[in-house]
């Protein structure tokens, strides 16, 4: 176990000083430097899909670990960087931020942009929903769901509102948002052909108040298409590549975002 290194950073946002803690351990620092040095810099002028594949491959077999972030309505938010264990959302956070970075400092800045609305490091500004990645600034990706299939469905969701009238996140407002998704039984060869390595895929959730139940990334290997994801399934409990069609077959559908 590596002792956490707590750093302190002050950013100036909208002419107001906003201070927050950064938590990163030595092992994660070393791995971050290794990925940037061996994956990002050699591939920064290649196709983005190649870059995202190389970065995300570095996380294969990383243990699944939920609740690594620090912050709540009553606990000050910290900028957590922890490569020792990831969940499906933090995995994509790290991949996306690294893909735009050339050193540790730019990674920290890009992680803030990736994880927080208006780059405001606070719990209620965290991008809690997958659709926050395209609906809020700074945008991480564009929603291309309706561009890769004519069989998409549009629904209006009231994110954060449970079916019993309660909230998933008590102090967060209810967010009305239109969500496009492709039913799993409508994902055909035409749809798969339009997917690119590095596209982010959310598994559509039918539950009131949620947009997705899981997120991951498209990886194409020859004629095969995989879903690279931090799996909490008992047989995995790590970052794995799963055949995409096998994974979505029993799920309601998919939302597809393309990295900016």
pLDDT at 221: 95
Burial class of residue 188 in the structure, from the number of CB atoms within 10 Å of its CB (0-12 exposed, 13-18 middle, 19+ buried): exposed
- Return d(Cα 232, Cα 214) in angstroms, integer: 10
Span 43-55, pLDDT tens digits: 988 999 999 999 9
- Return d(Cα 60, Cα 1) in angstroms, integer: 20
Q: State pTM to two decimals.
A: 0.92
Any alpha helices (H) in 122-207, and if so which ranges? 132-135, 145-148, 189-194
- Is residue 238 within 8 Å of residue 83, measured between CB atoms? no
pLDDT at 3: 43
What 3-state DSSP class applies to 109? helix
Give the CATH number of domain 140-259: 2.30.260.10
pLDDT at 16: 39
Span 54-85, pLDDT tens digits: 999 999 999 999 999 999 999 999 999 999 99
Which of 190, 201, 208, 209 lies closest to 251, judged by CA?
A: 201
φ, ψ for residue 256, nearest 5 deg = -120, 125
The residues, any chain, with a CB within 8 Å of residue 21's CB and separated by 6 or more, are 6, 7, 8, 9, 70, 76, 78, 79
pLDDT at 4: 44
- Return d(Cα 180, Cα 68) in angstroms, integer: 29
- Is residue 230 within 8 Å of residue 62, measured between CB atoms? yes
pLDDT at 18: 56
The residues, any chain, with a CB within 8 Å of residue 180's CB and separated by 6 or more, are 143, 145, 146, 152, 153, 154, 255
Give the CATH number of domain 4-125: 1.10.3670.10
φ, ψ for residue 67, nearest 5 deg = 60, 45
pLDDT at 19: 82
CA atoms within 13 A on the CB side of 92: 28
Span 200-212, pLDDT tens digits: 999 999 999 999 9
pLDDT at 36: 98
Topology agreement, domain 4-125 and domain 140-259: no
Which residues of the chain register pLDDT less than 70?
A: 1-18
Domain range summary for the chain, segments of one domain joined by +: 4-125, 140-259
């Amino acid at each position: 176990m590596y002792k956490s290194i707590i750093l302190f950073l002050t950013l100036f946002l909208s002419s107001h000083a906003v201070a927050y803690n950064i938590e990163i351990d030595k092992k994660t620092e070393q791995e971050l430097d290794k990925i940037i040095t061996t994956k990002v810099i050699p591939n920064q002028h290649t196709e983005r899909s190649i870059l995202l594949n190389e970065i995300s491959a570095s996380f294969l077999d990383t243990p699944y670990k939920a609740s690594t972030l620090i912050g709540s309505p009553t606990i000050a938010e910290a900028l957590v960087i922890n490569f020792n264990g990831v969940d499906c959302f933090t995995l994509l956070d790290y991949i996306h931020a690294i893909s735009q970075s050339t050193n540790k400092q730019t990674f920290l800045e890009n992680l803030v942009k990736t994880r927080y609305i208006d780059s405001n490091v606070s719990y209620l500004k965290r991008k809690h929903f997958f659709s926050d990645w395209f609906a809020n600034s700074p945008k991480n990706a564009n929603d291309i769901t309706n561009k890769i299939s004519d069989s998409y469905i549009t629904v209006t969701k009231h994110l954060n509102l449970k079916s019993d009238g309660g909230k998933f996140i008590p102090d967060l407002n209810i967010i009305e948002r239109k969500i496009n998704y492709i039913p799993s039984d409508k994902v055909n060869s035409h749809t798969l052909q339009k997917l690119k390595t590095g596209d982010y895929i959310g598994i559509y959730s039918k539950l009131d108040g949620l947009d997705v139940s899981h997120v991951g990334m498209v990886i194409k290997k020859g004629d095969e298409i995989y879903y690279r994801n931090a799996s909490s399934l008992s047989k995995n409990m790590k970052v794995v590549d799963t055949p995409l069609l096998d994974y979505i077959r029993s799920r309601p559908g998919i939302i597809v975002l393309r990295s900016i």
